[in-house]
Structures are given as C-alpha cells and as structure tokens.
Structure 1
Amino acid sequence: MCADTPDYKDTLSLPQTEFPMRAGLPKREPEWLERWKKLDIYHRLRAQEGREPFVLHDGPPYANGNLHIGHALNKVLKDMVVRSQQMMGRDSRYVPGWDCHGLPIEWKIEEQYRAKGRDKDDVPVVELRQECRKFAEGWVDIQREEFKRLGVTGNWDDPYLTMAFEAEATIADEFMKFLMNGTLYQGSKPVMWSPVEKTALAEAEVEYKDKESFTIWVKFPVLRGGNAEMPLDEEGGDFDGANQAILAEDLHHASVVIWTTTPWTIPSNKGVVFREDIDYGLYEVTARPEECWADVGEKFVLADRQADAVMKSARLEPDMYRRLRSVSATELTGLKLAHPLAGVDGGSGEWDMPRDFRHAPFVTDDEGTGFVHCAPSHGMEEFELYRDAGMLEEVLTYNVMDDGSFRTDLPLFGGKAILKANGKEGDANKAVIDALVAAGKLLARGKIKHSYPHSWRSKAPVIYRNTPQWFASVDREINDGQDTYGKSIRERALRSIDELVTWTPRTGRNRIYSMIESRPDWVLSRQRAWGVPLTCFVRKGALPTDGDFLLRDEAVNARIRAAFAEEGADAWYADGAKERFLGNDYKADEWEQVFDVLDVWFDSGSTHAFVLRDRADGAPDGIADLYLEGTDQHRGWFHSSMLQACGTKGRAPYKGVLTHGFTLDEKGMKMSKSLGNTIVPQKVVDQYGADILRLWVAQTDYTADQRIGPEILKGTADSYRRLRNTLRFLLGNLNGFSEEEKVAPSEMPELERWVLHRLAVLDAEVRDGYGRYAFQSVFQSLFQFCTVELSSVYFDIRKDVLYCDAADSLRRRAARTVLDILFHRLVTWLAPVLVFTMEEVWLERFPGDESSVHLVDFPVTPADWRDDALAEKWAAVRSVRRVVTAALEVQRRDKVIGSSLEAAPVVQLADPSLAAVVRSVDMDDVCITSGLSVVEGEPQADAFRLDDPAIGVVFAKADGEKCQRCWKILPDVGSHAHAGVCQRCDEALG
C-alpha cells in the first residue's frame, strides 16, 4: 500500500464475536448444568400444553457401582431420543430409574459382614435389608450425578426406584395378579443354580465363559432279559430264533457307553437315551495296552460315527478293537441298563435299580458316544423327556444341596462339594471318577475346555439343580378378559412382537421371538433376602397340585399392598405379619408364609405398572413409545417386561424397542480391567468434555458394536472443532443482525436460494433421521453440510460480500438473512447431540436469564424453499467451480500466484448448455477470482482438467491494480473518489 493510500481495514464488516475457538468444555459444562437446574428446563417443557406425549421408558441400571462406557452410550442415546422428540413438537417425558433389589447388593453387604467376622445368616433379615437399602441409596446418588454430568435431561428430582415403598407395593400387587389368574404354581424342576450365592438364577443373570471340565466315558452294563422286541436282520427281515439267542447273548455281555462333562451328575443318573436314526455298532476289544481301563473281550455299544474317537480316548489303537455288527434301534428299544455304581454303595441299594433306556430326539452323534446319560434333576431336556413320559416321580432326585454339596447321607459321596465357597473346583467330581474306577466302570477320562454358564455377579460356575421353585406358566390359559392377543402369556407375547411392536433394528424381532417361542416357564423365586417377597400363603400339609394349596383372597392381597405402600416390603418380615395379612378370616397356624423373594427381572419387568401406568408423568395409556437398551436385553429387560405385562395386562408394555451393541476398544476387543483397555466416562469428560463423548455416540453405528479409544476420541474432537468453527463463523458474521435487515427468499440471489433449498432437504432428512433414531445419519448429513457445502462453498464465496459490500446492499442483507436462518436450524438440529455447545452458541446471540436453546423447537421450514431445478443448476456450477479451484491450486503450489484473486482464468466448456448456465451466474465471485471468462468449445490440449474432459481451465493472471479494500485485481482500481479502491468498494465507502 502506498504511503498516501488510506487504511480501509476499519471500513470492512469483519466478523465480531467473543465465542472462543477453544471450547474449554470440562470447565464450562458444569456451569450450564447449574444454569439448567435454576431454569428448571425439564419441568418448564412439561408445562407446555397441547403436545402429544412421547415416553421413553428407562431401563433401570443397577445401583451398585460407578458408570462404565456402556452406561454412557446407553444414557446418551436415550437423551438424544428424548431431546429430539421434544424439539420436534412432542411432550417428551423421561423418568430415570434404578434397579435396587437383588443379589449383587446383598452380596456386597455379605462381604462387609464377613470382613467383620459376622455370619449373614445370624443377622436379622430386616437389618440386612436395611443395610442393602442404604447401600443402594448411596449408589443411586452417585450415578445420578454421573448421568447428569453427561448432559442427560430428565426428572432427576423424582426418579423411580424399585425399592421405593410404592414400587414395592406395586411389584407385589403385580405378582398377586399371577397368583389370582392361575399362572403361578410351585414345581420342582432343574433350574440354573449358583452354589456360591445359594440361589436360583435366570438366564439373563448368567454369562458364558470358558471353563476346563472333567470329561468321562462311562460303562452302563446291559441287563439280561431287557430286550422286549424281536430285532430285524440287515435286510429288514426277522431273525430266526437261533440268531435271536445269539444277538441277545452278545448284547447282554456289552455295555452302553456314555460321555459327560459333569461327572458329579452320575450319582443322580436315572437313565440313558439314544436316537433311533443314529447308526450304532457293537465293538469288541481284542487287545489292550497297560494303561487302559478296557479288558480284552469287553464289548461296547457306540455310535459308529464316534467309535474310533471313543476308542482313542480309551488308549486303544485301531488294531486293538473290532466292529462285530450293527445294532438297530429296534434292538435298543426296551433294553434295561445297570447303573455303573450298582452294588458298590455299601448295601444301601442307592443305585441297584435298573436304569431306564429309551429314545430321545435331543441325542446327537456330533460328539460323545451317541448315548446321553440322564439325570433329570440336573438337565432340562431330560426333565422334559420324563415329564412328558409321566415318570417324574420315579426319576427326580434331591442329591445336591443349596451350597452345591451332596446330601450328607448319599453313599460314597455324602458332603462332597461340586464347588468350593470361593467358586473353585470342589472334590465331588474326583470322588465320582475314583468310585467309577474302583467299580471298573470308567472307560476313559480327560479334560475339556468349553463355554460354560457362570453367574455374572459372583463369576462362579453354575449348575442345573432340581429344587422346589415358584414358576409363572407361560402356556396356561388366563381367564382375565384380556385375551385380545391370546389366552396365555406365550401367545400374547408372540402376537405382541409381530402386531404391536416396532423393532429397531429389525433383527431384534427374530431374536426375542425365538427366545419366547421356546422358553420354559418363568422361575420367579430366589432364595435370598433383599427383594420383594413372593406375597403368598400355602396351606400346611397340602400338595402343590391340590386345589386349595394356594390362598387366593383379594382382601388379603389388599392388606398386603396397603402395608407395603406405607411401610415397604419389610412389612412382610415384621413380627405378626402372617396374622396381620390373613386377618380374621383364616387361622394362621393352617397357613405357611412364603419367604422367597422375586427374581429382580420381575421387579424391572413390572416398572411399566408403577411408572408408565401409575405416575402422572407416565404414559397416558400405560404403554411406552420406546424401550432402549443393549441387545443383551432381548433376554433381559425387554423379555421380562414382555412376559410380565402379557401376564397382567394382556399385551406388550411398549410400542417400539431400540437396541444398541456393545462397546469395544479401538482394536475391537472386549474391554476388561485385566487388559487395561477400559474407557471410563468420567475420564473422557475430564479430558475432553461430555459433548465430545456425546459426539462419539452420534458418530457411531450404535446398532452394531462400537469402538472407542484415545485415537478415536482425538478424531471425534477434531470433528467437533470443525463444527465449532462453522458456528463461530455464523456468530461472527451475524453480529448486530436485526429483523429490519431480513430479505424475503423471493428477493434473494440464486446462491442464497440454493442454500435455502439445501435446508429444506436437510430439514426432512433431520426430522426423518431423528424420528428413526438414526443419529449417525443425522450427524453425517449435518457435518457434511457444515464442512463441505457451507465452509468450503457458501461461506468461502460469501466472505467477500459479507466483509466488503455496503451494509445495506441486497447481497449482504440476503447473505446475513441466510446466516440467521442457518443459525436457527443448525443450532437446534445439533442441540440434542451437543447439548452444552449449542447452549453456548445460543446464549452468545440470545443472552438472558430465561434464554435456552433447549426451550425451543426445530424451526418450521417452508416447503417452497425446495427448488430441485435450482439445485440441479448449482450442482453444474459447482462441478465447474471444482475444476477451476483445482487449477488455481496448481498455480498456487508452483508459486505463480499467492491468492486466487490474482487470477482471471478462462473456462473452456464443450457443452453449450453448461456454458450458458455458468455465464448466468457471477462465476468470478463463485470461484473467488478477480475475473473469469467462459468459452464454448472443446478445451485446448494443455487446459487443466479433472475427471470430465469436456471441462478445461486455462490459467491467466488478472489485469489491473489490487483494490486496497477487497484485494481484487481490477482495471478500474484507482479511478474512483476513494483512492486505491474498486467501484464496489468506492460505493460502499459512500
């Protein structure tokens, strides 16, 4: 600039904003939390009238520890649903809740007792329950603050707790509906049992981990006189009498061999099963090595497919045995077997009776021997087989006690433990194996590593154990007048799945349908103290099958419910409780009070009743719009809620179910403390701020497993900075904007109308995406729009107009009008995701004690902003601009020019229609050059091209002098009233 040329910098309309580029989120986010608390935003939104309710019902986390990254993912997803539905015009209600009963908390209190040398069983039950309640209360308070720190909105001052007195009363009341409608019964069947925790477990309380187990091959001798039918020869004809005698003789000197990974179940064996379509053979040992439990001449019946593998396990080489012949299913039918421990029990006769031998469809020859030993007290398939055969009384045993030890009077094994108190291998398996060796009935043994059920709380293995438990039948007809979707729980659930519920993703439907289609009856009872008791009475001396076994009286139920609502479930354990609840109508000494507690899944499954149905801020029809949890909840909360509601209200308690995957580390590995790859939400918040964690959630495909780690979070923070830069540009260039500046869309230049078109398209995409809970799709659309179409195109083009045009020029007013429109849409569209940042941006423009972006809705976008023809035209213009920009970048790289304003390129277009389109716009403004000319015709050979050979650019420098105000190089610079400026700037200076 010459010494006598004025400095025009102060005449430019440069951006002005105090909005910092560095966010400082960890420090500033708590300030906004405090502000929202003072504004009472959640309840102010509830006061808005005329809105259709939308209810996301919170699946209760367990109140027993700090939040992990899965909790954060889940709650942020819920929050984005709640906020987006609110901003789309709904009354979006969210009551957070906690699961407070159950074994994990009781286990913690027991640990505290043990540390003090106290025995839990010596502690009065009410004292134990009060300790559990206090423990849960403490963690509810901690988790509540951790959730709030993530920016999650909701009725935090009045959450629901399954241990609240009213909740306990309702849970009991819902249980008593099962009592009254006939679905409740007491039965004895094998259930998953934790010997360490001494209680039954539900499938959802079990996780599968690798475990090394003993594996044994056991001989069950065939008893004489057991073959009931004439066998068939190889061609299907009858054997003659001589052959029959031979066949009977060789089988009666044989043993059927079974294989099992649970040696401890052998003392409870009641039978062996085969399958009719498996090929079996009779095998004879012809030689043996020293280390072998098979004798020369011994014969074994085995599935042909597994015979060689069995012999190898017995250390027999192929030349040490031979296959004598086939054994047909007809021959097997009717055989009786001896228990391998028959006669070695000290004269007690415990195992002397013949074992049953029959066909069963669940037998395979994929592994083992083709035969399965049956201990119906310790296996559900065997239990169901003998149940259907009407033989349960003959085959059920009670050999295993609640701590996993054998009953003390069991011969040979009394007091032996399957598991120790610490969950490690006990001495029962070894004792059984040693007894089989001593009896000469062990063929082989080994060890196998396999997937095995463990309690997800104690992490110890579980067993199947036959115990008296309380069940809800899923197939009994319910005569409650709520049979629109079926008469049984299973029917109602299956029809609800297909007719009433939208599953996102759709695969969730198949998963839960197959689970409910094949599930057994629901085990409701747990042998613990901390929970809602099974509030029922049984007649002393009556059998569970007797009609008067259970007391069914609405007056008794009403007294129980009223007491629980006033005093909590502790009332069940108070002195004189039985007399109090039975009243004067029944003699207390004729009835027994049940003290088992309900499965905690019944608690959480009942939340629809005391939250959705009973609360004023619940759902008007008692049905949630959405349940949202991890995919594991198809067998957990979604499942138990479905069963519970179908039993008491006849249908599913939700209209939609949304599931997310699990959170893995950056390498796709499961997080674990031992690997040191866990991500703690609070540490992310402390380092980056909660908005970065929320943005990570929005960027992921949550329907699959997600990855998170330091590098991923760095990338998320970079995306955040780019968005923040876009918003800062808007704020800076909207400084001082007023309503008087606004320009109607019809008066705007085409470029502005193209932006309005894009907003109309985006508005539909955003609303549709939020409506489908497709947050990744919403964010990607907005991020692409902000960083490409705005920052790289529209903002880049319009900087010159915003900075250099006269304040009242149409172009500048139109651009500022569009920026204002952009501001209102981008800030509100992003508010459900970046709750803190969008509040900061909003308050930068609209400060005030009552101001908040979270009190407004998404703006209504006029349909007539959409202009597909204009969009098509500007797509063509942008395709040419891309070639020009790339051509100038080459010149900048080669240091021919320093700025694109030094150029006045020639654009050569082979397509006349494209040339006409380009000539119709201010292409030099679009390309940010000082000049640009368009030539029709094939581009010359040395023209710069990209992917389209019909578009070429020939570089040329701009003629003239540099305007000292806008920096364009133009011929007229210096010929106006104001020194060193172009005509546009001269007019702007006035």
Structure 2
Amino acid sequence: MDYRETLNLPKTNFPMKANLPVKEPSRLEEWESVNLYQTQRKLRQGAPKFVLHDGPPYANGDIHAGTALNKILKDMINRYWTLAGYDVVYVPGWDTHGLPIEMRALKKLGVSQHQIDPLTLRRECEAVARHYIGVMTEEFQRLGVMGAWQDPYITLTPQYEAAELRVFADLVDNGLIYRDLKAVYWCPHCETALAEGEIEYKTHRSPSIYVAFPVVDDQGLGLPDGTRAVIWTTTPWTIPANVAIALHPELHYDLVDTPEGPLLVAHDLVERVLTVLGVENRGTLKTFVGHDLEGVVARHPYLDRQSPFVLGGHVTAESGTGLVHTAPGHGVEDFEVGRQYGLPVIQPLDDRGRYFKDTPVVAGLFYADANPVVLKTLQTSGALLHAQDYDHQYAYCWRCKNPVIYRATSQWFLSIDRIRETLIEKTYGVNWDPAWGGDRMRSMVSDRNDWCLSRQRVWGLPIPAFYCEDCGHPVLDAELVRRVADIIGREGSNAWWSEPAAHFLPDGYSCSSCGSTSFRQEKDIFDVWMDSGSSQAAVLAEREGLKWPADLVLEGNDQYRGWFQSLLTTGVATRGGAPYQMVLTHGMVLDKSGQEMHKSLGNTIDPLDIVNQYGSDILRLWVATSDFRGDVRISDEILRQLSESYRKIRNTFRFLLGNLHGFDPAHATRGTVSDPLNRWALDRVNRWLEEAREAYRQYHFHTMVHGLLHLMIIDLSSFYLDVIKDRLYTWAPSDPVRVETQRVLFYILGALTRAISPVLVFTAEEVYQEIPRRPEDPSSVHLTTWMDPWEIGYTEEEHGRLERLLGYREVILKALEDLRQQKVIGNSLAGEVHLTIPESDPALTEEDVALLTEMALAAKVTWTAGPELAAVARPTAYLRCERCWRYTPDVNQEGGLCARCQGVLVELQG
C-alpha cells in the first residue's frame, strides 16, 4: 500500500517563486478596474478621518530613490490607518511652477528666456510639467502607492492658482505684504531673487584680501598723517560698491605704528592681522573705543568717493580686522546699516551679474571675473596689503548649483517680523518626530529674515500688483487681488500675460496718487514655496472630504526650511494656526558606502530598476526595514538580503495556505483551545500583533518588520509549524486536535496577511486571494480591517511553562544535532535523549515529557534533576512507523505501522 496516498499533504496554488515583477502590474490593473481606493472610501464613510497631506514633488523628471522612500512611507501609513478602520483621504500633489521646469523648456526649445515671448514659454512649461505628472503618476502607482491619482492637486491649475491668490489677499489684508528695496539673495545664472529656503551651502574658494582705506578726515581725533583703516573681505568684486566702513561701538581699536604707516585694527586682532600681513608692530600709537570713531571719513582706495566710519552691531572681533567693508548694495547687514545712516545704495550689477557700462575699471565684466581686475587695481593704488585664497562655506542656488550673491533690488516681501512670535508659539502645539524637529523649526523661524516672495521669471503665478503708468505708484489691494483670483480661476494665469491691466481692474479704476487710469501689471511671479505653502488652503481647507489641520505631513528633513515652514507661515498668517498636527521626517538615501546619492557621483539607483528586477514589494520591504528617521542606505547587497528574508516570509505563508486546503471557513469558530502548542502559538501571534499595531501607530515600521521576521522564521517556521507537521499530515482529518490546529492556522494566516498588507501590498493580496473565504468576506485584503485578537485566557503561568520547555528543547536539539553530524542517526526522529534539568526547576510531569518529546521531534525523552541543564542523545531502539516515520515502541516489525496510524487507516477506510 502507498501510505503517501493516505497523508494530508499540503496543497496550494500559491507558488514558492514570487515572480513579482511580472505579477504586480496585473494586480495593479485589477485594483484599477474595481477602483479600489474609492471602494475603500465608501466602506469607511462616516468613520473618523485620517489625512496625510502630501508634500508635492517637483514635476520635472522621473522618480528617484528619495522620492520612492517618501511615497512608500506615506502609503504604508495611509494603508495602516485604513486597516485600523479610518476614512483615509490621500490626495497626491505636484509642484509645477518654477525655474527647473522653465530651464528644461528653454533647453527643449533651444532658446534663452530673452529670445521667446512669455506665453509661448509658459505653454511649453505647462506641457513639460504635465508630461512628468503623467510619468511620475505611473511610477508611483507601480510602487503600489494608492490614492486619488485621477484627481490630484496641481499647482498650475486655475482652481489652485485662484486659491493661492485668495491666501495672498488675506496676507495683504493682514498687513503682512510690502514692497521694498533690500539686499536679497540673487542668482545671476537664473536671473532671479531667491529666498533663504532656496539656498544651500558648499565649500567655496574665494580671494581673501586686506585693503587699506586712507583716512581723510579724522574729526579732530588727532590721527597722524597717513593713517589707514584696514578692512578684510572675501568678495573683492564688491569693492566698487563700497560707501562706508563699519565698526562695533564697544570694541577697542588700536592705531598701530608699522612700516606700512599707521594702521587702524581692532585691538583683539592686531597680532593676528599683522602676522598675516607680514609687517612689524612698532607699538600702539593710540587706542579708541568704536563709538569714538563714528564720523571719521576715509577715502575709497581707488575711486573718488568718501567712505565714512559708521557703527554696527554685526561687527565682531572673531575674524577679519574688526572694521567691515560696507556695500549696502551687496549685503543684508550692510543694507540695514546704510539705511540707518542714509548711505547711498550702489548696486552696479545687472540681472545677469554683469557690471553696468558706467562702472569704472570693471565695466561689462561678470562679477566673479572682476576679482583679479579689482585686486590689480588695488595693488596699483598701493591699497592692497595682502591677498590669498580662502576656503569657506558659501551660499549656492539649490536649483542651478552656482554661487549666489547679495544684490539690492526692489522686491515684494512677507513680513516675518510681525508674526515671528506667533509662528514660534504655534509650533508648540505640533507633534514633532523626531522630537528635535520642533527646536529646529523654532530656531529657523527665530533667525529668519522677511520672506522675499518675488521671482523675476516667467513660469509661475504672477504677483497681482499694478503700477501706475504715469507716476509709477504701486497698487496692491486685497479686494483687487480677490478680483484677479476670480478671473484667473476662470481663465488661468496665462491671462495675466495675454490681457492688459484693464482686464483685471474695475471700470474707471484710478491711481490714488495721481488720478491716472493707465496701469501696467507686475511681471514678477511668486516664489514656488508660496505655491506649495498655499496647499494648506487650496487643498486641506477647500477640497471636499479633507480637513484642516492635516493629521500628518511627512517629508525629508530638508523641508524644515522649505515646505514645513511655508505651510506654517501661510497657515498661521491667514488661519491663526499650524496646518498640521504632526510633522514626521525622514533622512536622505545613501549608497552602500554612506555617500548621499547624486547623478554626478554615478552612485544613484533607479527605483524602477529595482522594481523590474526584484518587484515593488522588495523595495517596500527596504523602506519598512529602514530606520528612516536617519539617513538610509541602499545597495544591491541590501536588496539581495531583503529578497532572502522575503522568500522566508513567502514560504511561511505557503505552508499555512497548503495546510488549509479544503478548510471550510464556516468552521473557523473561536472557541476554546486546549492543545498547549496551539495555545502558545496563539499567544505568541497575539503578542506580536499588539506590538506591531503599536509600532504602526508610532511609525516604527522597522520594529514591526523585525518582529515579523522573528515570528515567522523562528517562532513559526523553525518551531511551531515544524512540530505540528506530524499532526497535520498524519492524523485523521477529523481528529479534534488537528481540527483545532487548522482553526489556529486559519486565524494566524488571516491576522498576518492583514498585518503585513500596508508593507507587502502585492504579496498580501496574493495570499488573501488563496485563503478560504466566505461569500460575505471582503474581496481584497485592502478592504479588510485589523483582525481582533483571539482571546484564550493564556496565563503567565502557561507562558512561563512553555518558555521553560523551549529552553530545554534547545539543549535537546543540540545533542541530537551532534549525533546527526556524527552520522549516528539520520534525523532527530531516530534519537532519544536523557535530559538533566537544574534541581531548582520544577519537576517535569508526564504531560511535560510528552510535550517536550513532540517539541523536539525525538523518539523519546527521559529526565532527571541535576546541578545544571544538560542533555545526552543516543540512537533509539524503537522501529520506524512506515507511514508517519516516527520511531515508537508500538511498531512491532520492520515496515510496520504504529498504533495511531493503524487507527487512522481504519477510519479512512471506514
């Protein structure tokens, strides 16, 4: 007789080979055909809402590892809260205005911004943005990210633009918007002003120079002839714009006798400066306090211009000379001091960073190219005391990656000063994760200058201001802004470039300054952070089904100075509070050696390449196993390791499914459970489920996954599932313990499938479709909810007993394995063990011994008490049952059956 035909061997259509790259796209098509996201929403109608507000990625290229990390994290969070029974609304967004798209469009057209009319360029920019919205939508969906992909928010749409303008109108109403001449960050390559959030710092090499300014009027202080004030600067190109020298009012300044003549330097810096200059200190002629020198007049080193001494709190004795070259046209502190003293603002550069043609010495030069010319001129005039290269941190444009400058221009600003304290106050009501995020945000707000909103480009939302054609008077009125918002909401912002000012103004509107009715529109556009920052109103407040504030925002840790801050600013300024209840951040993606990924370094990994090789679920598993609050590494080696972990998870599911073949879910009652192993397994799974649920709530996905791997690989596959194979395969199908075991397996399978569904979205669905289900059960795992625990009243005493037996088991298995390695036995079933347990441990009962024998898969276990835990194994004298392969005393002959198998066969033949 072929006893194999009498066994209950596993059967399942769930394959061992995942083949995810092939299967996942088909699954996506299925979900799209049934509109799974909208089905979720309908099922959760009336439930508490959970809103994760999406920070819009920039629509100008394919996704990369960083955007994949970000979107998958968001999706896992959304899917968990859906599983927890919440009505989860996820509206993905796109940031679509701004310079990168404009530059891409210009490159495609093969022209510069000065060679094309604005409307043609804007239409090309929109085409670029919409193309990449389509590309990125497909790529994000391929990662298994679910949301309102058919109805995202896009910052270029008329509806969104109108909402942004209404935010701006509220800012105007609240007295927070003003126009002023100020020194602001300026990118000469992009030809536009920049805000602090668009600046990054890099190591930069500059010419460091010490320059002597001759004193021409000492204001009666008795300075000797030939006295010169020494300044230090790393921007020689700003010397043509010098109009003053700043000193600190409380610092002491020494007039030092040197071979170069009397030199004025801050007392604390004299030795350092003279050492650098390589000149002898012949003694101090006089010492002054800074405020005593106010009003002394020096002369520009080579121009016919005075350079008076002024006082400024920004001057320090930490570096330089303690006397600061002051050019209000090229520095923030310089500008403020200049305004205080009524100094002229000389700003000799055009938008492209070239000197105007009337600038002496450097006319027509690009600012950086002027450095050697200025140095040579200073040297010729005898004013250059020393020059050398100097490496330091310098501001760069984060768009084009080129150095930026300060340039005094007229711009529109949002006053941070007026709301600074409120901004800081409102951060305390936000849950920051990591916790230091709140301190970081408060520090940034404390140090932040007023927000420069103007950008001198074409592709963006226009600032809705007007100028009188006759007197130049600027007009910015909240009601006019709302009127423009209504028009742009109907016609789109291209109308600003295609229609005259009269199209937007009421009939007969006149200038309040001169009475003229002739106006022109402002051509500056908004900073893109104003675009995305207005999403708190345009999306959260105005979209049906959402709510303000959002429960959560999640972006990279670089967004404290970016989107998090622009959301906070517009939210506090217009609605009185932060538009988010929690801010969660992730780090950057690094390569295997810990370097940040950059195309220029050639160390990037395309997430779609990973998906095509391994499948999206492996990429999602990488995200879930990463402690994302810090920087995250990715490499082929890491992905291969994760693939192996995934294989083990998959094989565990395959075992569970195979042993539920033919199981009727109608019998999956949650009655009493009597078998000790089944009770232990239920308790172990329930403990993990509670840990996993808490980990999900805290967004500690790596904790959840590490616990899952231990549960499935160690606790289940290597122990429980291995031990219960005998009862599942060889016992009678109707045996109560076997039936109870299947009920337990059914529960474990259902609970684990749901619990992993936020992470392994495709695999969980594949498993779910193979689980025996009732007609009323949801059609997709992503329509289910978290499974309630099967409470069995498992006591701490039971838990302690099994843990103690598991400890004994480890010692027994080691002894049996040693015997197998010596090739004395083929497997543990052929061995018997004598166990010595510590005398301090409780004595083993007959039930304990029987259970331990089953747990160790041994032929026999005996025991005695002794000084320490030990085990000795030997081959058993029992014969093997030919059906169940156990070695038992009731097998009477070679090839015979044990009494249990004989009884099963009688029942089967029934």
Is 2:231 the counterpart of 1:258?
Answer: yes
Displacement of 1:415 after TM fit? Answer: 2.3
The alpha carbon displacement at 1:194 in A equals 0.5
The answer for the alignment partner of 1:56 in structure 2 is: 52
Contact kept? 1:958, 1:970, Cα under 8 Å: no
CA deviation profile, 1:220-239 (whole Å, cap 9, x unmatched): 233443366xxxxxxxxxxx
Paired AA for residue 238 in structure 2: T
Indicate yes or no: 2:893 matched with 1:951: no
Larger mean Cα displacement after TM superposition, 271-280 or 809-818: 271-280
Q: 1:584 aligns to what SS in structure 2?
A: coil
Q: 1:443 aligns with which of 382, 385, 398?
A: 385
Q: Which of 565, 584, 603 pairs up with 2:508?
A: 584
Check if 1:934 corresponds to 2:858: no
CA distance in 1, matches of 2:621, 2:5: 39
What letter matches 2:313 in structure 1? A
Q: 2:207 and 2:769 mapped to 1: Cα distance?
A: 67
- Which runs of 5 or more structure 2 residues have no equivalent in the other structure? none
Higher alpha-carbon deviation: 30-39 or 456-465:
456-465
**Structure 2 residue aligned with 1:298:** 261
Q: Distance in 2 between matches of 1:872 and 1:397?
A: 82
In the TM superposition, 1:362-401 aligns within 5 A as 362-365=315-318, 367-387=319-339, 390-391=340-341, 393-401=342-350
Q: In the superposition, relative to structure 1, how do residues 362 and 770 fare at CA in structure 2: closer, same or farther (>3 Å)?
A: farther
**What's the counterpart of residue 988 of structure 1?**
904
Given the alignment of the two structures, is residue 550 of structure 1 paired with residue 475 of structure 2, yes or no? Answer: yes
For residues 960-979 of structure 1, the aligned pairs below 5 Å read: 960-974=878-892
Instruction: Return the offset for 1:298.
Output: 1.8
Residue 435 (structure 2) aligns with: 506
Q: Write the mapping of 1:758-907 to structure 2, written as runs, cut at 5 A.
A: 758-845=684-771, 851-862=779-790, 867-907=795-835
1:22 correspondence with 2:27:
no
Alignment correspondent of 1:324: 284
Asked whether the 8 Å contact 2:330–2:405 carries over to 1, the reply is yes
Equivalence for 1:3:
none
Q: Which amino acid aligns with 1:273?
A: A
CA positional deviation for 1:354: 3.5
Whether the aligned pair in 1 keeps the contact of 2:187 and 2:403 (CA below 8 Å) is yes
* More divergent stretch after superposition (810-819 vs 404-413): 404-413
Q: Distance in 2 between matches of 1:882 and 1:820?
A: 28
Give the whole-Å Cα distance in 1 for the aligned partners of 2:808 and 2:409.
Answer: 79
User: Which amino acid counterpart does residue 150 of structure 2 have in structure 1?
Assistant: D
Shift of 1:863: 5.2
Q: CA deviation at 1:492?
A: 2.8
Query: Match of 1:234?
Result: none
Offset from partner CA, 1:724-762 (integer Å, 9 cap, x none)? 111111111111111365464523312211222222222
Cα separation, partners in 2 of 1:911 and 1:845, compared to 1, 3 Å: same
Indicate the SS of the match to 1:925: helix
- CA positional deviation for 1:873: 2.1
Question: Hey, what does 1:464 align to over in structure 2?
Answer: 406
Q: Secondary structure at the match of 1:100?
A: coil
Q: Aligned with 1:338: secondary structure?
A: strand
SS state at 2:179 partner: strand
Tell me, yes or no, if structure 1 residue 136 matches structure 2 residue 129. yes
Q: Distance in 2 between matches of 1:919 and 1:538?
A: 94
Correspondence 1:111-260 to 2 at 5 A: 111-113=107-109, 115=110, 118-226=111-219, 248-250=222-224, 253-260=226-233
**How far is 1:664 from its partner?**
0.6
Structure 2-normalised TM-score? 0.94
1:918–1:80 distance in 2 versus 1, CA, 3 Å: farther
In structure 2, what residue type is equivalent to 1:415?
G
Measure how far apart 1:653 and its partner are: 0.8
Aligned to 1:314: 277
**8 Å Cα contact 2:169-2:482 kept in structure 1:** no
Deviation at 1:579, TM superposition (A): 4.2
Amino acid at match of 1:19: F
Q: Distance in 1 between matches of 2:575 and 2:76?
A: 30
- After TM superposition, the structure 1 = structure 2 runs for residues 449-488 of structure 1, keeping only pairs within 5 Å, are 449-476=391-418, 488=419
- List per-residue Cα deviations over 1:823-872 (Å, max 9, x = no partner): 11111111111111111111122589972111111111245555333222
1:615-764 correspondence runs (5 A):
615-619=543-547, 622-739=548-665, 741-742=667-668, 744-764=670-690
Greater shift in the superposed pair: 573-582 or 260-269: 573-582
Deviations, residues 32-84 of structure 1 (Å, cap 9, x unaligned): 01011011100001112231110111100011011111010000001001101
8 A Cα contact 1:623 1:654, kept in partner: yes
Structure 2 distance, partners of 1:916, 1:838, is 42
Amino acid at match of 1:596: D
Matched, 1:908 2:836: yes
Shift in Å, 1:648: 1.2
Taking a change above 3 Å as real, the CA distance of residues 475 and 191 of structure 1, as seen in their structure-2 partners, is same
Q: Deviations over 1:629-675 (max 9, x none)?
A: 00000001001111111111111111111100000100001222333
For residues 251-282 of structure 1, the C-alpha deviation after alignment (integer angstroms, 9 at most, x for no partner) is x5432222111111112223323446656544
Give the secondary structure class of the aligned counterpart of 1:581. Answer: coil
Answer whether contact 1:360 1:385 (CA < 8 A) is retained. no
Question: Which residues of structure 1 form unaligned runs of 5+?
Answer: 1-5, 229-247, 286-295, 419-425, 477-487, 939-949
Whole-angstrom CA distance in 1 between matches of 2:312 and 2:167: 42
Q: Deviations over 1:459-482 (max 9, x none)?
A: 221101111000011233xxxxxx
Distance, in Å, in 1 between the alignment partners of 2:476 and 2:312 is 41
Question: CA 1:600–1:740 in structure 2 vs 1: closer, same or farther (change >3 Å)?
Answer: closer
CA drift at 1:145: 0.6
Shift in alpha-carbon separation, 1:33–1:846, aligned structure 2, 3 A: farther
Counterpart code for 2:439: N
Is the partner of 2:371 in helix, strand or coil? helix
Deviations 1:905-952 (A, max 9, x none): 0111123543337853611001111111121232xxxxxxxxxxx211
2:56 counterpart of 1:88: no
Aligned 8 A contact 1:340 1:441 in 2 = no
Write the letter of the residue equivalent to 1:582.
P
Q: Distance in 2 between matches of 1:796 and 1:97?
A: 48
Q: Cα offset for 1:966?
A: 1.4
Q: Which 10-residue stretch deviates more, 700-709 or 457-466? A: 457-466
2:492 matches 1:568: yes
Deviation larger for 871-880 or 26-35:
871-880
Deviations 1:304-333 (A, max 9, x none): 5544543444355xxx44443673425853
1:890 to 1:202, Cα distance in 2 relative to 1, 3 A: same
- 1:430 equivalent in structure 2: 372
Mapped contact 2:216–2:298 kept (Cα < 8 A): yes
Displacement, 1:191? 0.9
CA contact (8 A) 1:220 1:337 kept: no
Local SS of the residue matching 2:389: strand
SS of equivalent to 1:197: coil
Which AA in structure 1 matches 2:690?
A
Distance 1:155 1:974, change over 3 A: same
| 2:457 maps to which of 503, 506, 528 | 528
Q: Distance in 2 between matches of 1:777 and 1:743?
A: 31
Question: Does the CA contact (< 8 Å) of 2:778 and 2:784 recur in 1?
Answer: no
Paired with 2:902 and 2:315, the residues of 1 have a C-alpha distance of 92
Cα 1:914–1:676 change in 2 (3 A) is farther
